[in-house]
Amino acid sequence: MIKVANLSKRIGDVQALNDLSFSAQDGQITGLLGPNGAGKTTCLRTVFGLLKPDAGHAEIDGIDVAKSPIEAKQQLGLFPDPFGLYERLTPREYIRYFAELNGLSGKQAKQAAAKVLDKLHMNDIADRKCKGFSQGQRMKTALAQAIVHEPTNIILDEPTRGLDVMSTRVLRDILRDLKQQGHCVLFSSHVMQEVAALCDQVIVMADGKVVAVGSPDELCQQTGKASLEDAFIQLIGTDEGIAA
Amino acid sequence: MIAQIRTMLKKELTDAARDKRSVMAGLYYAIGAPLMMCGMFMLLISQVTSPDALNINIEHSERAPDLVKFLASNDITSIDDSSRKDIVLSISEDYASNMAKGLPAELTLSADNSDEKLQSSIRRLEKSLQLYSAEMGSLRLIARGIDPKVVQPIKVNVEDQATADSKGGMILGVATFMMIYAVFISGMNLAIDTSAGERERNSLALLLSHPVTTRQIVWAKMAAVTVFAMLGLLLTLVISKIAYGFVPWQELGFSVNLTPEFIALMLIVSLPIALMAAALQLFVSFMAKSFKEAQSYLTIVLVVPMMLSLAASYNIAPDTMQWLPVSGQMQALIAFIKGKEIPMLQLLLSSASTLAIAFALTFGMEKSLKSEKIVFGL
Amino acid sequence: MFDGTLDPTRQTTSLQPKYRLALKTILPAVLALSSYSFPIAAMANTEVPQPEAQHACYVTGLSEQVRCGSILVPENHQQPEGKQIAIHYTVLPAIKSNFGAEAFLAIAGGPGQSAIDNAAYFDKVFSKVRQYRDILLIDQRGTGRSNPLNCEGEGFEAGLALNDESIDIAATTQHCLDEQTADITQYGSESALKDFEAVRQHLGYSKLHLYGISYGSRMAQLYMRHYPQVLETVTLDGVVPMQQSVVAIGDAIERATQILLDECQTTPLCQQSFPTLAADFAKVDSRLAEAAITTTTRHPLTGEASELLLTRSKFMGAIRMAMYGANIRALLPYAINQAAQDNFQPILGLYALNMDGIGLAMGMHSSVVCGEDWPRLDDAMRQQLQSNYFGEQMLIGFDESCPIWNMPAVSEDFSDAIASDIPTLLLSGENDPATPPSWAELAMEKMTNATHLIAPYATHGVAHQSCANNLIADLVNSRDVAQLDSECLSRDVSRNFYLNASTVETTTAANDAQGASND
């Protein structure tokens, strides 16, 4: 479970987060929806302890990120945007590396990497260097890295950005899978359909604040709109920065 | 804690070993620098030593056949070809008549004394002429029934304290500078790649999002850069050892030999320097906004250890330099090369100051990796 | 006068080294009259010697630090537990040691010369060898620092006025013998050879390259005979063949004198200046043979008025010694010419050069010559020796001194030719007044891998008078005597003869100039 409470953060002249509070439950896919510049990435970075909030706090499975960053992060897997691959390593090495960083022994890491490579159907590319990978291959590698140590919580920052249809479908399947297994999945997106298709809960953000929370249906009901898109525009007051 | 550092170190080294740029930067220096030094020394030696057969221009050689014969027996001849040096020895018209009268017979030696290539040849010619003159002087005295010893009132016995090692030490002092510098050069590209480069490739944030402390990250990167620096140094030493064997030192009258003891001492003494170099390079690279910027900063920053090292090589302000990083160790190494006692206190203090700087920078990096500005360039 | 910039040390080295090394054997007469003003501390030394570990040291004439040390050996090798003597050695370390297990052993002449005292000379001559190999110098037992057998005392003061022909050789020899505390019978070449080998083993050299000059060539040949397995190459310079008694040196002196006289006759400038040189020489010699000449002169060193008693022995000795050096030799025609005109200053100058002695340990000299050379003289040889002045004098001297010295004779096979296939270079100087080229031919009789090179302008000791030192360096590197390029030996390294007390160049120019100025 991921819980943020009253997060505020100023970056430069911009109030990136403004008394932000929400929680994402285990066994659910939670979407963090907002236009560009709404504070989604800042929020996620704060959850990882990479940014320090001016006020408020973030908890992972009840662990305060600011107080026990290592323990908190052990419960987290991050699918970052951009991916941050090491191009001179192979996916297998890359995945093992992060598995070991998360406390797995060499042997465990090896097994875990093999397992996740299998799961993501990456065996054909597992021992090629990442340099020259397609966006889909990169996505898989980054995703494998995020889930190799089987964290309870998985955070994805704009996971479908730049993906083709096939890759997007693969990703969706995996996320559903993770949900089935009881993981807490939190992802940020500005793509409406994706959120509508996947999420059990949507948190709509604008200007660093939560403007609405609920399932896609609930949001439609709440705004009286037929589509989530319309509901969203209604909620944030503009259609700027939203992709259909 | 340690396991994760080891994991990161392993990954950094694997990553770096596959990075052509990092490896080549180290290799170019480790192989190129000793070879360049050797080439330079060979050129120098060939220029400062007089050729076996010295060909000069002797004008009016018919006026002094015995002198010409004497010079020829010392391999100094006058042949009109391309090997002739720009040295003219002119025999005066009244050479024979003055000599017959017991008066000084005049020669004129004309050459450009500022031409370094000629100096040893000029000295050799002068020496031969003095020898000839001295010998004739002695024989003239004998012919007059006087013992030539009477014109040798003082005999100076010179005892040169220099040892074979210390003579070569002058040369090795300069070479030592080149070797120490390997520590800075070999790890530099890796240092930039693993800091500024890592951030540029967006993997730094990902790394920080994993359950590792900034201390672990910094130490692992330090260790990786240090390993590269030390490998670069080791390679430089090995190449130097082999390459120096081909330089005709004996023509200078002494030898330059990298002993296993020297190599071992060099490696030990350089370890703190390598740590400091790694810390310095990582620190500067983290501060820089991009790979390119880090490169240009480092080029400027590395002038400092170079100056320190050079100052030690040329013995500038030795009293201050002996306590400073790099120069202190250099002085100790030069002392060792020259067969003197290693100044232990000085070496320990300069090593301590080197390590202190390394740790201060490491600590600074740990802090800076917690800063949003450094990590995200905000 | 001398130019102020001249290096005075160089001036002596240019004149002296020849005879330092060149001395083969010395006249018994010289044995009796040379003043050996050696510091003879070692003579009265009855303390038990201690071996010196190798340490940095300075040796005469070399400014750089070299390595010195000593080992103990039994004075009598048949009695290993008996009295021990220290054998001193010096190592001139290779500049660039590529052949650490090989050394170049240079053996000095005499007999009785110290190798270590001549370190500067060996260093200069063999600088190319030293680039890659240690040069090893050993003071042979009885010489230098190794328990030297020196002689001093009555009759050893040199003097211009001394009548060296009237000295009682028997008494001086006895006196010298009485001074010795050592067992002088143990100071022959073969005992010394065992010392050399012990030093080699002590220093851990697996192979040696040998260089033996003059008497040193006998030591080198003995090395070839007894320890051929440790030798890589051998150079014999101014060769004394095993088959030859050195007492026969008189013939060589006679031969060299004749060459000198002939050379002056065939050199236009010399011939014009001294047209009657041979006659002049004969004139002075016969005059002195009749009676010594007494004149008043200035002492060569002190400048004080002194009486000079010029004996035939002093005159001939001065000429003999002058022939060792290519440069001093150039003064001889003028010196002889002046002596014939009653100007004895040049002869006095030449004689004075050796008045201080020639640096030989005369006791050791006697042990070698009386044990190895004198006993093998048979009637035919004695007959031959009588035919010239020096041969005759040698015979008289050794016949008187050797019975007193009472050195046991070496066995007969000592005189056998050396049979060897070690690469061996033999060097002779055409003008050598001690070891003529024919001696080298004799020495190589049974050598199957030897080359004999004759330097046409060299006297005694070819290595320092020609490019032969470079040939030796080549030999040491290649171990192949056949491929040595000896062409450089023919380069004219001689000096023109002095035409007056000042010049070696033509004097006609001077006359012309004078003539011109008179016009």
pLDDT band at C428 (very low <50, low <70, confident <90, very high): very high
Q: What is the mean pLDDT of residues B148-172?
A: 80
Tell whether C497 is covered by a domain.
no
Give the distance from CA B175 to its chain's centroid. Answer: 2
Cβ within 8 Å, pair B142-C3: no
pLDDT band at C284 (very low <50, low <70, confident <90, very high): very high
Q: Distance, in angstroms, between B340 CA and closest chain C CA?
A: 14
C367 with C423, same domain: the answer is no
Total residue length of chain C? 519
Alpha helix segments (H runs only) across C235-331: 249-266, 268-273, 277-290, 312-322, 326-329
**Mean pLDDT of chain A, nearest integer:** 87
B141 with B167, same domain: the answer is no
B130 with B202, same domain: the answer is no
pLDDT band at C384 (very low <50, low <70, confident <90, very high): confident
B12 with B134, same domain: the answer is no
Pick among A101, A104, A139, A141 to test the B interface (most B CBs inside 10 A)? A101
pLDDT digits (tens, 9 = 90+) for C124-156: 899 889 888 999 999 999 988 998 888 775 444
Of the residues A112, A134, A150, the one at which a domain ends = A150
Tell whether A61 is covered by a domain.
yes
A25 with A109, same domain: the answer is no
From chain B, pick out residues whose CB is under 8 angstroms from the CB of A87: 201
pLDDT band at A113 (very low <50, low <70, confident <90, very high): very high
Q: What is the mean pLDDT of residues B147-154?
A: 88
Q: Sheet harboring A209-214: ordered strands across?
A: A76-79, A153-157, A184-189, A29-33, A201-206, A209-214
HSE-CB at B186 with a 13 A cutoff on CA atoms is 30
Tokens of B172: 């090795």
C175 with C321, same domain: the answer is yes
Residues 6+ apart with CB under 8 A from C341: none
B and C touching (3 or more beta-carbon pairs closer than 8 Å)? yes
Tell whether A43 is covered by a domain.
yes
A202 with A217, same domain: the answer is yes
pLDDT of residue C34: 24
pLDDT band at C453 (very low <50, low <70, confident <90, very high): very high
How many whole angstroms separate alpha carbon A191 and alpha carbon A168? 12
Q: Distance, in angstroms, between B119 CA and closest chain C CA?
A: 18
Beta-carbon count within 10 A of B340 CB: 14
Of the residues B151, B180, B195, the one at which a domain ends = B151
Tell whether A206 is covered by a domain.
yes
Pick among B61, B75, B138, B171 to test the C interface (most C CBs inside 10 A)? B138
B70 with B136, same domain: the answer is yes
Tell whether B174 is covered by a domain.
yes
A157 with A234, same domain: the answer is yes
pLDDT digits (tens, 9 = 90+) for C82-111: 889 999 999 998 887 777 789 999 999 888
Residue A117: strand pairing partners = none
C144 with C291, same domain: the answer is no
C385 with C471, same domain: the answer is no
Q: Which domain holds residue A68?
A: 1-75+152-244
Interchain CB contact of A45 with B (< 8 Å): yes
Cβ within 8 Å, pair B206-A84: yes
Cβ within 8 Å, pair C327-B156: no
Domain count of the fold of chain C: 2
Cβ within 8 Å, pair B205-A71: no
pLDDT digits (tens, 9 = 90+) for A66-94: 888 888 888 899 998 888 889 899 999 99
Considering only CA atoms, which of A95, A106, A187, A184 is closest in space to residue A146?
A95
Domain count of the fold of chain A: 2
B69 with B42, same domain: the answer is no
Nearest to B160 among C64, C501, C514 (CB): C64
Three-class secondary structure of residue C162 per DSSP:
coil
Place of tokens 């010694």: C321
pLDDT of A148 > 70? The answer is yes
**Chain A: residue whose CA lies nearest to B203:** A84
B235 with B110, same domain: the answer is no
Residues 6+ apart with CB under 8 A from B333: B176, B180, B262, B265, B266, B269
Tell whether C506 is covered by a domain.
no
Tokens of A36: 């560009």
pLDDT of residue C19: 34
C392 with C404, same domain: the answer is yes
B314 with B189, same domain: the answer is yes
pLDDT of residue C4: 27
B141 with B206, same domain: the answer is no
pLDDT of B234 > 90? The answer is yes
pLDDT of A177 > 60? The answer is yes
From chain B, pick out residues whose CB is under 8 angstroms from the CB of C303: 146, 150
pLDDT of C369 > 60? The answer is yes
A69 with A163, same domain: the answer is yes
| CATH code for position A240 | 3.40.50.300
A159 with A129, same domain: the answer is no
How many whole angstroms separate alpha carbon C497 and alpha carbon C272? 12
CB C468 within 8 A of CB C427: yes
Q: What is the mean pLDDT of residues B300-323?
A: 77
pLDDT of residue B3: 86
Domain count of the fold of chain B: 2
Interchain CB contact of A86 with B (< 8 Å): yes
A236 with A180, same domain: the answer is yes
C172 with C192, same domain: the answer is no
Tell whether A227 is covered by a domain.
yes
Three-class secondary structure of residue C165 per DSSP:
helix
How many whole angstroms separate alpha carbon A67 and alpha carbon B288? 30
A161 with A71, same domain: the answer is yes
pLDDT of B156 > 60? The answer is yes
pLDDT of C471 > 50? The answer is yes
B33 with B172, same domain: the answer is yes
Alpha helix segments (H runs only) across C295-388: 312-322, 326-329, 332-340, 345-353, 362-372, 379-385
Tell whether C10 is covered by a domain.
no
How many whole angstroms separate alpha carbon B216 and alpha carbon C252? 90
pLDDT of residue C514: 42
A158 with A241, same domain: the answer is yes
Tell whether C305 is covered by a domain.
yes
C277 with C313, same domain: the answer is yes
| CATH code for position C204 | 3.40.50.1820
Tokens of C517: 């100025």
pLDDT band at B312 (very low <50, low <70, confident <90, very high): confident
Phi, then psi, of C57 in degrees rounded to 5: -155, 170
**Mean pLDDT of chain C, nearest integer:** 82
pLDDT band at C24 (very low <50, low <70, confident <90, very high): very low
Tell whether A81 is covered by a domain.
no
Q: Which domain holds residue B256?
A: 2-46+163-376
pLDDT of C23 > 70? The answer is no
Cβ within 8 Å, pair B151-C132: no
C26 with C134, same domain: the answer is no
A106 with A160, same domain: the answer is no
Q: What is the mean pLDDT of residues B107-118?
A: 85
C283 with C430, same domain: the answer is no
pLDDT of C54 > 50? The answer is yes
Interface residues of chain B, partner chain A, Cβ below 8 Å: 3-4, 7-8, 11, 14-15, 18-19, 201-213, 372, 375-376, 378
Tokens of A169: 């479908």
pLDDT of residue B287: 87
Nearest to B94 among C5, C349, C513 (CB): C513
Q: Which domain holds residue C35?
A: 20-49+159-182+247-373+376-409
CB B165 within 8 A of CB B256: no
Interchain CB contact of A87 with B (< 8 Å): yes
A and B touching (3 or more beta-carbon pairs closer than 8 Å)? yes
Considering only CA atoms, which of C245, C188, C248, C249 is closest in space to residue C222?
C188
pLDDT of residue B361: 94
Give the distance from CA C500 to its chain's centroid. Answer: 28
pLDDT band at B22 (very low <50, low <70, confident <90, very high): confident
**Mean pLDDT of chain B, nearest integer:** 86
pLDDT of residue C199: 94
Tell me which H or E stretch contains C235.
strand C231-237
Tell whether B158 is covered by a domain.
no
Tell me which H or E stretch contains B6.
helix B2-17
Q: What is the mean pLDDT of residues C277-306?
A: 90
Q: What is the mean pLDDT of residues B125-145?
A: 91
B241 with B336, same domain: the answer is yes
C291 with C432, same domain: the answer is no
B329 with B271, same domain: the answer is yes
Give the distance from CA A239 to its chain's centroid. Answer: 23
pLDDT of residue C166: 78
**Chain A: residue whose CA lies nearest to B205:** A50
pLDDT of residue B50: 61
Tell whether C168 is covered by a domain.
yes
Residues 174-233 of A with CB under 8 A from B: none
C236 with C324, same domain: the answer is no
Pick among A2, A85, A97, A102 to test the B interface (most B CBs inside 10 A)? A97
How many whole angstroms separate alpha carbon C134 and alpha carbon C99? 8
pLDDT of residue C494: 82
Cβ within 8 Å, pair C58-B159: yes
pLDDT of residue C171: 83
A202 with A143, same domain: the answer is no
A156 with A242, same domain: the answer is yes
Interchain CB contact of A133 with B (< 8 Å): no
Tell whether C495 is covered by a domain.
no
Q: What is the mean pLDDT of residues B101-106?
A: 90
CB C335 within 8 A of CB B143: yes
pLDDT of C447 > 80? The answer is yes
Tell whether A137 is covered by a domain.
yes
Tell me which H or E stretch contains A230.
helix A228-236
* B134 or B21, which is more confident: B134
Give the chains touching C; criterion: ≥3 Cβ pairs < 8 Å.
Answer: B
Tell whether B234 is covered by a domain.
yes
Nearest to B210 among A52, A73, A86 (CB): A73
From chain C, pick out residues whose CB is under 8 angstroms from the CB of B144: 345-346, 349, 501
Cβ within 8 Å, pair B209-A88: no
Tokens of B335: 């002392």
Nearest to B139 among C93, C331, C510 (CB): C331
C153 with C175, same domain: the answer is no
CB B249 within 8 A of CB B168: yes
Of the residues A118, A150, A182, the one at which a domain ends = A150
Of the residues A100, A132, A150, the one at which a domain ends = A150
pLDDT of residue C150: 83
Peptide bond into A82 cis (omega under 30): yes
CB C139 within 8 A of CB C115: yes
B92 with B193, same domain: the answer is no
A178 with A241, same domain: the answer is yes
